[in-house]
Amino acid sequence: MMRPHSFICDLAAKVVRFEGRKFLSLKPGVDEDLLRPRKGAPEAALYIHIPFCKRLCPYCSFNRYLFEEERARRYFRQLRQELDFYLERGFTFRSFYFGGGTPTVLMDELVAFLEYLHRRLPVKEISLETNPSDVTPETVRILKDLGVKRLSMGVQSFDDGMLKAMGRFSHTGAEAVEKVKIAQGQFETFNIDLLYNFPTQTLELFQRDIEMVKELEIDQVTFYPLMPAPRKRHAVERRFSKIDTRRERRFYRLVLEEIYHDGYHPSTVWCFSRGERMIDEYIIDYEDYIAIGSGSVGLYQGLFYANHFDLDNYGKKVESGQLPIAMSRMLPRRDHLRYHLLTQLFGMKLLEEAHRRRFGRGTKEDLGLELRILRLLRAVEPFEGGWRVTEQGMYLVSGMMREFFTALNRLREYCMVGGI
């Protein structure tokens, strides 16, 4: 099988790194009129960010703060207010994605928020991230009763040595196994996240994590590479050794051999499910997503925006009746097309009809050069619905997506350090 050479993969990743930074060069403020429902636009998903964790993992570049109960309660109130701003503007949502931080960090507030969603909106599906330490039979029952269809648990590794090296002290490997057994089979989709290419991680350790996934017959598993923002990267590298992205390919090959070739279905190049199509990433399934909560990023009809990261700035804006958006950028058509291409390739397919509906022209007219190059590299191939990523192309797309998320993490770090 011919695979794109490492050099080509590195080059493609570099192009995305460059394009990603350009894409994310947001300007302060927002034209709020652009955030009104457009006639004929498909319904957007709603992303909700809960930025609190009971412990902060040193490698993590998300917007997160150490949990303080009073602060978190105030935050949930502000979150409801922010949601109301969008509802007053005429938005309606049916699909919800809770990320963090740890959305389950304060269950009574989360429950009240979910009940509020049910009262105000025609809820169809809810996807929610959690930590193994929060998973109990009781929380599982509550979340199920409140319509959570997909629960995603951040395991990262089943190996105690790896968890310790990562600074992930919220659970041990044995506890993660126990929590998987509690949640598995209780939701339409139960996912776990596993991290790879941590400096001290060997292929053997990673292989054992994969074996555990199979042994436990987990519905869905997302393997994602370490992709910290610059400061976090330096901290990890000072403590261990250089994060070598070239090692990633060997880890990824193991995923293909052990998971993909074993019949797991890829819904993204990182996410593999045992059953048929399961719920996965909102950035692929939804052309538009409104984002609420501090440090969340949204995309609506070409407007890309980021909320205030700093909790005080976020809270002040919301309490004074304003959308808490810190910065934004109306994407030029070219950037929007490339973002669409990247996220769809991440989701394994670029669908002709969806592309035409969104951009008014065919994929070849809009992305002819990009598709020709990808085809030449045998990274994509045509099929009757559009273009699909080949097995050979999966690693190339993985590297491109890693660079895009790294650029996003860089933006997050910039905002957090700058108190934006």
| Rounded alpha-carbon distances, angstroms, from residue 68 to 75, 106, 112, 113, 380 | 10, 10, 18, 18, 47
Using Cβ positions, the residue closest to ligand SF4 within the complex turns out to be: 60
Sequence-ordered list of residues with C-beta below 8 angstroms from that of 190, at least 6 positions apart, any chain: 150, 151, 152, 153, 180, 183, 184, 218, 219, 220
Interatomic CA distance for residues 416 and 141, integer angstroms? 35
Indicate whether 64 belongs to the interface with ligand SF4 (CB under 6 A). Answer: yes
Indicate whether 102 belongs to the interface with ligand SF4 (CB under 6 A). Answer: yes
Minimum CB–partner distance for residue 154 and ligand SF4 (Å): 5
- Quick note: the x/- pattern for ligand SF4 over 239-268, rule CB under 6 A, is ------------------------------
Q: Which is nearer to ligand SF4, 20 or 101 (CB)?
A: 101
Q: Which is nearer to ligand SF4, 232 or 247 (CB)?
A: 232
Minimum CB–partner distance for residue 58 and ligand SF4 (Å): 8
Window of 53-61, 213-221, 243-251, 315-323 that interacts with ligand SF4 by CB under 6 A = 53-61
Q: Which is nearer to ligand SF4, 85 or 414 (CB)?
A: 414
Instruction: Name residue 324's beta-bridge partners.
Output: none
Tokens of residue 365, six digits: 């007219």
Task: Work out which of 8, 15, 56, 111 binds ligand SF4, going by CB under 6 A.
Answer: 56
Q: Give me the torsion for CA of 17, 23, 28, 29, rounded to 10°.
A: -150
Window of 18-26, 96-104, 120-128, 366-374 that interacts with ligand SF4 by CB under 6 A = 96-104
Indicate whether 101 belongs to the interface with ligand SF4 (CB under 6 A). Answer: yes
The site for ligand SF4, by CB under 6 A, has a size of: 11
Task: Work out which of 4, 30, 98, 100 binds ligand SF4, going by CB under 6 A.
Answer: 100
Give start and end residues of each alpha helix (H) in 125-247: 137-145, 160-166, 173-183, 203-215, 230-239
Task: Work out which of 12, 26, 44, 57 binds ligand SF4, going by CB under 6 A.
Answer: 57
Window of 50-58, 109-117, 171-179, 332-340 that interacts with ligand SF4 by CB under 6 A = 50-58
Interatomic CA distance for residues 48 and 53, integer angstroms? 15
Q: Which is nearer to ligand SF4, 19 or 209 (CB)?
A: 209
Indicate whether 228 belongs to the interface with ligand SF4 (CB under 6 A). Answer: no
Residue with tokens 């669908």, as numbered in its chain = 351
The helix (run of H) or strand (run of E) holding residue 388 is: strand 386-389
- Which string of b and e fits 143-161 if b means at least 16 CB within 10 Å? beebebbbbbbbbbbbbee
Q: Which is nearer to ligand SF4, 53 or 350 (CB)?
A: 53
Exposed (0-12), middle (13-18) or buried (19+): which is 23, by Cβ within 10 Å? buried
Contact call for residues 338 and 20 (beta carbons, < 8 A): no
Minimum CB–partner distance for residue 378 and ligand SF4 (Å): 35
Q: Where would I find the beta strands (DSSP E) of 94-208?
A: 95-100, 125-130, 148-156, 189-196
List interacting residues with ligand SF4 (CB under 6 A).
Answer: 53, 56-57, 60, 62, 64, 100-102, 131, 154
